[in-house]
Amino acid sequence: MSADDPTATAGPVHIVGTGLLGTSIGLALSVRGVEVTLADTSPSMLALARDLGAGTIPAHPPMPQLVVVAVPPDVTSEEVAAALRRFPDAVVTDVASVKSVLLRELRAEAGPELDLSRYVGSHPMAGRERSGAAAASADLFTGRPWVVAAHGETGEHAVLAVRALAADVGAAVVSMDAAEHDDAVALVSHVPQLVASLMAAQLVGAPERALALAGQGVRDVTRIAASDPRLWSAILTGNAPAVSGLLRGIREDLDLLVQAVDRAAAEGPLAPGAVAGISSVIAAGNDGVARVPGKHGGVRRRYAEVIVLVPDEPGELGRLFSEVGEIGVNIEDFQMEHSPKQKVGMAIVSVTPQSAPPLEQALESRGWRVVAP
């Protein structure tokens, strides 16, 4: 979606909270000509979002058509309730990553002045390790799922308004109820965050000589461990029931794995049950990875990897991309690996299997060093 495409979202849109998500929504709407106003308890964060172009801070803001609450989960319900009371004609949504607990809290304080027909929860499945307005981007939601979690009292007009918002910022709309959403994000987001953090914590006291051997594997596993502890504490406690069950399942699998490894440690690599116990864990992981959708959705496709050494110099990676395009091959996926103190990086270019041999030959003829995977 380009900035010139028409939008279905009718402004003004009022955004409460100018962190990563709130500022990114403001940027995405503002660049498409939608009037956006901003609010935040932090004056400096609010000013930064304004200066980045996410919206305005008028002295007398117009009454909004849509309010987006983009604050931490532990204060989301009170901000949603405040918006429903303050703006009696506006649709109100939130972008918190937990939904059931918010709905329970809102229903607990619902009264004649709290019209829940104008509220619909939502959650864009987009983010970064860095938080705050400085990390925001107008393209953050492009191609990403955006869950719209209507509840029993939600009016159709509210659902349509939030679906329009998600589509206008480039997201793919997914409809779920609150419980289904919370179970899903516990599996694909919340527990992976904890597992990454647990692994990264093991590196705190590691010898420097061991860390110097770190390759892409440990970087991949721990990448999201750089997230904000306060934000994630609120998210995980808010979705505790769904997270708890998954953690217990992991603990059971881990106990079985420890037993297998202990046998190998005590009796040798060929101890009865050791190989099978470890192999079953790896095989189950293979099966799970195969179920993760590919880049276009649906069944995950298998690609061939072409590994190219790229000098650590300005413009070299761009030159590689340009020449792959000139050769006429589409890059399906891409990774970059670096080894400490090396003057080259390994560009791992994923292409269709039939494209790999001619791409390797063409790159070598242009002077690139292609290495066997």
- Domain residue ranges in the chain: 13-176, 183-291, 304-371
CATH code of domain 13-176: 3.40.50.720
Query: How far is residue 111 from each of residues 79, 81, 368, 371, measured CA to CA in Å?
Result: 16, 10, 69, 67
What homologous superfamily is domain 304-371 in, according to CATH?
ACT domain (3.30.70.260)
Query: How far is residue 92 from each of residues 112, 162, 248, 305, measured CA to CA in Å?
Result: 17, 9, 36, 46
What homologous superfamily is domain 183-291 in, according to CATH?
6-phosphogluconate dehydrogenase C-terminal like domain (1.10.3660.10)
Can you tell me the distance from the alpha carbon of 348 to that of 265, in angstroms, rounded to the nearest whole number? 35
Q: What are the tens digits of pLDDT across the range 151-171?
A: 999 999 999 999 999 999 999
Give pTM, 2 decimals.
0.79
Q: What are the tens digits of pLDDT across the range 82-116?
A: 999 999 999 999 999 999 999 999 998 777 678 99
Arithmetic mean of pLDDT over the chain: 91
Residue 4 pLDDT > 60: no
Q: Can you give the pLDDT at residue 367?
A: 93
- pLDDT band, residue 295 (cuts 50/70/90): low
User: What is the average per-residue pLDDT within 331-359?
Assistant: 85
- pLDDT band, residue 372 (cuts 50/70/90): confident
Residue 5 pLDDT > 70: no
For 320, the token pair is 């590689």
Q: What is the CA radius of gyration of the chain?
A: 24
Q: Can you give the pLDDT at residue 338?
A: 74
Instruction: Give the list of residues 6+ apart from residue 19 with CB closer than 8 angstroms, or none.
Output: 45, 70, 71, 131, 132, 133
Give the DSSP letter string of 139-165: TTTTT-EEEEE--TT--HHHHHHHHHH
